[in-house]
Structure 1
């Protein structure tokens, strides 16, 4: 809207308004045209500053007859009657009125011009009132002085105004934006991206409605305000609701936040505690409606969103200490590829009570806590130079390659084990790595122990890889966390160096207790299987094993009568197996010093030899044995 000239509205007189309109041949309103003519006639008389008594022609009216306004004033307003009363009647110049005036002059002693001026002024006011009403209610276009935003549309029809708005406002939206302030951050909405252009039809209609709608006083007031440059209707913009919703969604996804609880980071020799961030929420619908209205009316002033905040959790120094204080951790390797080095982590410690004193009431955003750092022994660069450089242990065991099902199971277990990496401190579980032994996973039925009896079971033979791995673990001096010997001795390992496993039962576990990652290499080829443990040697360590037999459990020969056999016939139903109680020692020699520790105790049951004998002429009834529930293990 154009700025008004200096001075209040009171400074702008009726004379100024009429002067502006004087150049027009016709305003389109009979009342205003009559008013202009009256003003021209009045200008011939200089009422002020004359010493002579003003003279007036009482026979002639100052204005056109009242009929000039009657058609412009709506019925029911009583304006015609008022004007008729106020103006001198055209045909009332009678001798009686002259006589009365003469009598008044004689009584007063002289003529009073100011009374005539007052009468004329009153008549002018009445005429102006009638003219204003006539102009307000009678003018069919957009009233003079009206603007649609900054576009002047006064005196135009709706169609003309629409064209003028289209022409003048084509550049009004270019480069415009609205800034939303949400809590402590500003977000920008580019007007061009969320609108489809100017709604010139609606804008013209609103300029028209500004003076054509409302009650008497509203319409007259708006019409007069338009004449003095105060009539402005907003320009309407067509809002792209879908685009605006999408932009508000983007803003809401960032601005609508849950409280951010305190956090910490280690930087140099400081522990930086961040006390968190308030959660921010607001009424999305209210914001959407407000922004839509601002854009529609081209109100591009910044908009501050009313928000509700929620506090984060208080700073818990004890909890931070439990998380932040740590022992140094050496560099490791990414087990997914066995090549990528994961950097080392220094140890961190600090005085908890001092930290509590520094944090105090937690009113600041951040706090710095002094810490003590303990560097790791193995850095990423150091590990990269020695990763999997040395063979820590290498073992092998023999198998009967002709036993196809069992060989299949051994080979399959080796495939699952092969390539397994353990970083320092990590634990290996044979059952977890190899998994359940099922036909669906490729395992086949082969020999397995069940309560001292040899039976066929899916996965039979997988104890050989676990035992061969145990032999290597002992020689690499790794920490064994779970190991079980077979119930009976096995042929492929020395006493005290086997490790039985069963899905859902006994497991074989060990930890990497070295400073460097280790990797297991497992394979089956021909009549043997192989295990290598590779890692990094830090000394000339050597490991030797020795198993002592504490007790030998000789088996017995048990004869059983079998009526199906011919008399005097003997047949071995079950071979005998000697049982043992053993202890295995591990001796580690490093830098010229030897240390011996017990590796395990093993107990292998004896198994009696059973011989079936054919019946003699006289036999005693055979006694049947009861058998405990079966527990299987693979030999």
Structure 2
């Protein structure tokens, strides 16, 4: 190759490279522009040569106008109309602006140039990006069609005052097919028919009830399984109020087969917000006022009802002290966040709890399949008694030597309980229940320490009386210092004498709890059924 030809080739190569460099530089420079390339449209609106801000403004105005378009809704001879914006239309302006600007800017530089050229020659329509809120559309349609819609009626169990169970049948409701209407609206918008007097035809549909008569019959609730009643002092208004609040929380509760039930979970915290008031409760082996006093009587009444229905008890605790409203061994203490009464429905049918509080009684009833009803008795045996202590406390308000019982003592007990199950009058099963231990409650005696003024005396009597008084005071002071009550009375344990009961030679007694049985007889164990002087209700 001669030198002239070689030079020409080099010059041509340099020219080509220079041209390509210039070309791709121009392509790259154009891609950095903030403007949409010519030929890009949305629903016929040309966005070419517009900045992203300008294109956004144009599409926002389009969205506003489209949102004001109305759609006619027809249903069952009725009609209504709604603006698209009110029906939940949302046009995605930002997404479409970004899509328009990205055309001709994706891929390598050659690909970008080819796409820009094709768009400039043939145009590029960007699909309308939008969404319709299903929730908002449904709200509009429900409001518009409320005159033709009918709510379904679930089947219901009615428990009468006579303790019979009635089943009220269900009924279908009438509704509109909102999902089909929603699909119709989306199609109108996609096909750009929203400016052509668009209409949606809603279809009426049947609405099935959530619970039918057949569903309830499968639950096997057809009558009374068991009932139990306890008494309380109707004069203790706060305590009675608390009993009513807790009983109301239980009323109507349904427990399905295999389901576990927690008293605390259903009744909830014993707080002022929940409506509870101050009343006596047991805390640290003492009776003190606190929120929710009396709730334990509700749990105790429920516990005995469950026993008589032969329901499986999962958790039960006795009170730390004796309570008066049930026999020993048959109470169930609860405290929110602590002791609980739990049971599992071990029967093949559902259970329904009904509660009532009237006068000085609370009654809990358990309804279920009466074919499962059995005769059940609870037998409690006191296996050990624990005497109470007599505590003497000085009281400066009482005259010296005078004594007043401030708190009566109650013996403690260890009790075992059994559940006896009968069929046809024959004992078929004897089941051991959880044992109970009740601590004794100290008897507190206040002893006066207030000095008694000496009576005026005359003549020679002064010396004798002074001597007697001095001797008595000295003796009493010595007794006080020795930790003994004055006037020669013994201290320490004295529960047998104070209650008039003989604690020797009688370590085991039985208490046959037959007042309430599974046939629904209402027995009323009262304070007379518990031994000794009972403390205030817990």
TM range (shorter): 0.3 to 0.5
**What is the TM-score when the length of structure 2 is the normalising length?**
0.47
Q: Which has the higher contact order (CA 8 A, sep 6+)?
A: 2
Which structure's CA Rg is the greater one?
1
